[in-house]
Structure 1
Amino acid sequence: MVVKVLLVPLLFLFTSKPGACHLTLKEQYVRRGEMVLLQCPSTCNQKGDAKVIWSSYTAQKMDLTNMSSAEQKQMGVLVHQNSLVILSASVDHQGNYSCSVGNASCQFRFMLTENTPKSKEYEERNMHNKSCHTQESCKLNCPDVTIPPNITRNGITWHKAKDDYFQTVEEKDKGVYTCTRSYLYLGQIYNKTFTVKLQIKPKKFEKAAVIISPKDNKVFPVDLGSKVEIKCEAVTYSDFDGVFWISGGSVMFKNPSLPVYYKTTREKNAEKIKLTASLVFKKVSEEDLSKNYTCKLESDSNPPSFVTITLVQKTHPSYISLCPSIVAIVVVMLVTVIIYVKLKIDITLFLRDTLGCYRRTSDGKSYDAFVMCYKSNTDAGLNADDRKWLESVLEEKFGYSLCLYDRDVLPGKATAEAVLDCIEQSRTVVLVPTSPDPDLGSGLLSAIHAALVERQTRLIFIKTEATQDSTSGSLAEALQFLSEAGVCVTWKGLSSRSSSSSFWKQLRYYLPAMPKPSPQTNQDVDSWQMV
């Protein structure tokens, strides 16, 4: 059973008083046995100490406000300020109710009547609407009313849905859902039922817009006379949306026989539709550069979207001014390379002697060089004085530590073993041609060659200008291997004695770099290498 609460202009119940408020019509429907909440309208505000007076006109007129709590409980009502609560509506509560403030200058009337349980009017007036989009989450909200503070909310029960939350709502979920709110008052539960109509709408999509690809810019550099194609793309969700090109205020044509036209494609993937309108210039002309072209998207569900572009002529670099610069750079590079190749030795020695470009090493070696003689032509080789002078300059002037066979090898030691020991302790091996026969056999020379390769020791092979050697056979072949294994420096007789000669420059270049002795320290100088 349904009861109806009706706010009506019962003029016959009003007394005509100056300043009385106008009456408004309001209807409220509830089920029998459920809670009814009547509120004095906000247009009749309580001012100062004025009190809201509730009266009922059922079997007889009663002042509800001045009733005791026990009397209100017996009647099944609760009065709290501007609210009147009927805890459980029944036929005994049919009739009229009024609220007034102060001297009754503002007065309203309510009428409570029964209605049928399935009244269409009841359904329409008590229906609350809720809209959700497909494939999205959806939460149903049970309506609520303002209750006096001494009534406590006690939970919500949904009768059709298992829960008020849909993780992904579908079309099949639409319909009317009923929820009941429970209220606790003086240990008793009272209910009020609401209906919610769930409407399902198509999935919401983002706003469609046009995009110029591939760079999404508005200025396109082009070459006159070239073919150009500019794509305009949009993703929409309606079959009625379209993309087209406009120029000069008019829609362009799709006719491929025209010098400028556009073509369209449509690709559908699930709900999305990809539209492409390609603007084609068969041959860009001067006239095309003076126009603007607009790609526009017409959509039923979104406002129009458009992008305007212009064509500009490409600026090409001036190769006339660039060529001299390239030639000048190439010439400078070539000159630099030639100078370095020609003066490599002088530059390296300058850096060593003047700027001190050295790198300290700790290789465990005892000597900078092992000076060893090999048999040469009597006229072409270095005589004993030249050899002594060479060794003296290396040690005394340039500070090299030399291993000399006839000075640093202990007597009685085997020649081959002594030579290999000197090679082991030296950073460089210097082979000097001499006139006296040092009595080096081919077997020893081969062993020296193997030791140099194994230890990766640098070999400096001093030669003379003479091309004929007194050696022959296997000994000459062994010397040939040694000369190929290292670097060669040419001795030119008396002209090579000068410290500024090419002989000394080359020899010092290939020898380990030696720093100049420091006047501030008497400590030993470690071995150095050029960086």
Structure 2
Amino acid sequence: MMPLVFTLLCLCVLKMGGFSASVTQATVQSELQCHDWGVWSEGSVQVYDGEVAYLYCPLFSHPTLYSYNQTQNSRLSLLWYRHTHTQELEQPINLKLHKLHKDREYLWIQPASVLDAGLYTCMLRNISSCVKIGVKLEVVQKDGECDPRAKPHLNLTIPFQSERTLTCPDLNTLTLPNSTHSVSWYQSCRTTLFRSDRELKGDGLVIYRMLEPYTGLYTCVVSYQMNGRTLNFTRSINVTAVVPDVGPKVPIILNPASDQIFTVTLGSTVNLSCRVYLPHLYEEKQNIWWTVDNKTVEQLADPRFRSPEATLFSYDYGDEIKERILYVMDFSSDDLQREFNCSARNSRGFNTSRAVLRTEPYVPTLELGCGLGVTLALMLMMFVIYHVFWLELLLLYRSWFGSDERYTDDKQYDVYISYARNSEEEEFVLSTLRRVLEAEFGYSVCIFDRDSLPGGNLMESVLRCMQACRRLLVVLSSDCLCEKSISLLECRLCLYLHHTSRAPLITVRRRALSAPCGDIAELRNNSTSVRWHGARSERTDSRFWKLLRLALPLRPLALGKRLIDSTSSHSDLASVATRYTQAQTVSHSRRSKGGRGGTRHLGVRDRSGRRCEQKGRGCAICVSFQESRRIWGGVIATQWNTHLHQPVANGTTPYNMHNSNTAPGNDPGSDPSSDLCPCEPINNNLTNELQTTHC
């Protein structure tokens, strides 16, 4: 008997164990088959702390898939779970709590607190299927009775001059107790006394005539009693005024216009814009699309063509301007033959417009940019080169395009050097200035003490030497304008020649002058000034010699020494006198042929009926010049030998010679038997004019 009982007990235990294993396996299999839809994409549910909150199961937002009545017939159970950040697994919600209430597809929390925030999951399941989705609950603190930053639960548009009744959203879904409830309305969180065009009726707010001031955020607060507590339920409505649905409402295509041409570039991505004006139509969706050869982008199935959804360009009381862009990648010449149309449609009509395309002319932007960059770089480089080497460039230009003055005038020397007669200045002029100009640069230099003929009138000799030179160079120093010095005479003669015959002047300053006088200032103002910088200027390629060469006549380098030694200056001056005699003879013959109306040369004048004789030799040169009293002062009459012509009443001018050592009353020139030949003075209206004549 006992073995039989033991055997029956073992069989029962094995049977029950098999049943438990099968149930566990079925449960695991059902959990593995539960399809998770993730978190609801519409966003989280926001509720104020201490107010009533409800959660709607998003599975029923698609009636074609699930509806609450069908789930009851299919024996699908609706279960709610909660997942918090402190829990790893979903926990089933205890509906036995007084604050939690399940009503069909809603889960009510009366009231909600900060601890109730989290992720809630609604699940539909039976033995064969399972599906779930999550929805987030956010509990925020309320700023007073009304929060102006609240997210609206409903967006409502009301046409101008129309009537509309506002009802508190979700009020019908709220399971209210038998006790009474109240509804309070606010506009922009202000307790407004609704009158005139607005009135409170029951739980709603009636707007009899919609106006612009009535737009904004409306808030309704529902209050009721439950379990001895006052509970609140808050909802917000955003009211917007729109134009009425009257008049023509056909879409208007603004772009592309009838006369608009799109310029495209081959091989690039082309953007074609379609901009449409859409009049407001209540609760109606209006469409905008592109077609290529009468096919939409979806029908074309070409990856080169892409057209995103239309974007809002502007909004004006319900009237919208939307823009939709067609992107064509790697635009080719074959695409120019296609037909691109922009179309728009609503319940009132249809409109379309064709986009006209034209290739953009090729603009060599890269080539132009590179060329401009190279040009600017070259200009900058040339500017820097000219700024640094401007002297060398000027000398190079003169050597290429300059003219040699030796072939255009009858001058004997290139430069006349005037300096103070002291040991320091003489050493600089003879050892440095003369040596470099003659030996290194090939200039012919005239120095009066070296190249003048002995005897004769000093002033006339200096003047004759200066007139035989192309440039006049003055070495400035404190001693060059000493009283009764030859350097003073040279300086004043230089100024005279500059004012009368435009002789170019050059001044060389070795050091700063202690007290410059008026003559030196006038010299510097009318001359090219070059400064000697001591040891820095000794090299022939220094700035001093370059500036000096620039002021002197053009002369090629490496000419070597002069053919005639500078020490034999008397022969040079003799040749100069011979050339002047020949020039005078030619000029005299030309004037004889031309008569009195011929050209008059400076310092030479024919005297009809008289011959100039001097010890049996003809008159070679007659030199005349004039100078103001400011320059000459009063020292000429007693310092140098001059020929003074004074005008008389009948036009006849006697010839007188004054010597610095002879009194005016004992003038030997008054002797009629004098051997000196008289020369006719230049006719001038100025009185007390100093004229010097050399025959």
TM-score (norm 1): 0.34
The structure where strand makes up a greater share of residues is 1
Which entry has the higher C-alpha Rg, 1 or 2? Answer: 2
Structure in which a larger fraction of residues adopt helix: 2
**Higher relative CO (CA 8 A, sep ≥ 6), structure 1 or 2?**
1
Q: Could you tell me the TM-score, scaled by structure 2's length?
A: 0.26
